[in-house]
Amino acid sequence: MVDNVVLDSLRTRRSIRKFKAEQITDEELTTVLEAGTWAPTGKGQQDPWIVAVQDKELMTQLARMNAAVKGIKVNPYYDAPTIVLVFGSDPAVWGNSLQDGSLVLGNMMLAAHAIGLGSCWINREREMFATAGGQELMRRLGLPDGLIGIGALSLGYPDEEPHPAKPRKKNYYRIIR
């Protein structure tokens, strides 16, 4: 099988759920965000919107909103020093919205891993931003109307060793000739 740095990153990236309090550098953040912009999107429309949050008050508000959806009291973003939110058009308007946003999140996770950062995909942004409070927050963030939350990343310096990868299931793929 062919091997290179990209394929190695695909095999070794794991979710991180414990972060150091130290904030990542602007260069690291820009690198991760830029990687998200290079994700493929349907018809090249570049539909997703990416918002990085490092403001402590806003991060606390996001954590409360996400925890309320999940029905928990702990921070669902694992106290990461940076949260990256991804939004996209309502799927009724743009059918590729969820796929496009998911590819953006995937690119950013791989870029983070490649430069030594940890990340974890966080769900429930769709529910959070569907609320009246979520819609108001989106306006405060300067986002256009009609978007939905797709997902988020907790992002920072890892403060744990990732769990080893689970073995790949048998017959994961097939080749039909």
pLDDT at 91: 96
pLDDT at 3: 86
Give the model's confidence band at 1: pLDDT under 50 very low, under 70 low, under 90 confident, else very high. confident
Q: Which of 76, 162, 158, 77 is nearest to 118 (CA)?
A: 158
pLDDT at 62: 98
- Whether the Cβ atoms of residue 150 and residue 87 lie closer than 8 Å to each other: yes
Q: What is the mean pLDDT of residues 128-138?
A: 97
Q: What's the chain's length in residues?
A: 177
Domain at 24-156: CATH code: 3.40.109.10
**Class of residue 155 by CB neighbours under 10 A (exposed 0-12, middle 13-18, buried 19+):** buried
